[in-house]
Structure 1
């Protein structure tokens, strides 16, 4: 599965409601889909303190959600990563949901006032269970961390949702222990240093964006 698909499942309750109503889900999904494009070799991030996104390949990936995102990115070629994470034209949620629904993992229903609130109840809990088991094993050092693991855990931590999505009853780790485990994780192989740096850059950008949004809400 794509990183953005796994994150979508983690951020969605089995009932179909979001795990958090704080508005950060879309930010997390944007960061995830951008990292999927990095892993697919379609974009790269410049090696600087405030990295910029550069497009390196515009050929289709075969994944609808990635190709839809890639199609709008030329307008932001060379721009700061933080501006991409807040850019409303990158809106992967519906495309992710459509792909997961087509695979029989979730379904889409409408509810709330006038039926305008979309929900995505789980039909097949297997994929999310597999992701959670893998992340638990990574956090306990039972298996090496992949780039996808680093991305998922880092994004959840930057959104302030890690301990809610991965509670102690599931991981055996208290909030502080979970934070320490996530922040000290390293990739299994040094061969992907550029990708690992891109993941860290995306997580740093997410932290910056989420912190700015929280500060604005509090003012």
Structure 2
């Protein structure tokens, strides 16, 4: 499962309306799809201090969720990580929900605003989200090493300032005072067994230590 799909499902559970995820936390979704592109071997970070993105690989991208942002990045001469995260709708959330719908995880319902707005998104299979949360809980508690995709999700939630809201149950055993320290530790310990994972690990470290991702709006359920 893509990092952007995992992040969407986690946040959709906490926002009053899943379709509001992008407007409330679009920068985080942009960061997630950049991580997906890194794992797919299409984008990496240079070794310089300015953290410029470099396009790698060649040919069309088969996954629509990744093809759309890759096309946007290809039109830019040079882009830093911080600038890329802020590209409007770099992550097309409709393509994310389309992908989840094809997997039978969500479905589209009636449109908002008297039939003129966006289609509502209904989560059909919450077992997927529960498994994601089970995995994250085990990694937070140190029961297993965090996978690169999970460390990316945790780093993005922490950078947006909503980790303790979105992962309230998962972080509860270690307490609020230790949560930030533990999430930062997981980011620093991100697995990096190949070039793609090293790029994501570097990105995790950057976004947890620098103000790269603007905070999400506070449209979360209590």
Write the distance in 2 (CA, Å) between the matches of 1:111 and 1:19. Answer: 10
Partner in structure 1 of residue 181 of structure 2: 180
Evaluate the alpha carbon distance shift between residue 44 and residue 95 of structure 1 in structure 2; reply closer, same or farther with a 3 A threshold.
same
- 1:1-219 to 2 correspondences below 5 Å: 1-13=1-13, 17-18=17-18, 23-115=23-115, 116-168=117-169, 171-185=172-186, 186-188=189-191, 192-203=197-208, 207-210=211-214
Query: Do 1:3 and 1:33's aligned partners in 2 also have CA atoms closer than 8 Å?
Result: yes
Give the distance between the partners of 1:84 and 1:90, measured in 2 at CA. Answer: 8
Number of corresponding residues: 212
State which drifts further: 116-125 or 20-29: 20-29
**Cα RMSD between the aligned structures?**
2.7
Aligned equivalents of 2:136 and 2:154: distance in 1? 8
8 Å CA contact 1:109–1:121 kept in 2: the answer is yes
How far the C-alpha of 1:18 sits from its partner, in A, is 3.9
Q: What TM-score, normalized by structure 1, do the two folds share? A: 0.84
Q: Secondary structure at the match of 1:32?
A: helix
User: CA contact under 8 A between 2:112 and 2:120: conserved in structure 1?
Assistant: no
TM-score, normalised by the number of residues in structure 2: 0.83
Bigger RCO of structures 1 and 2 (CA < 8 A, at least 6 apart): 2
Answer whether contact 1:24 1:210 (CA < 8 A) is retained.
no
8 Å CA contact 2:105–2:123 kept in 1: the answer is: yes
Other structure's SS at 1:120 match: strand
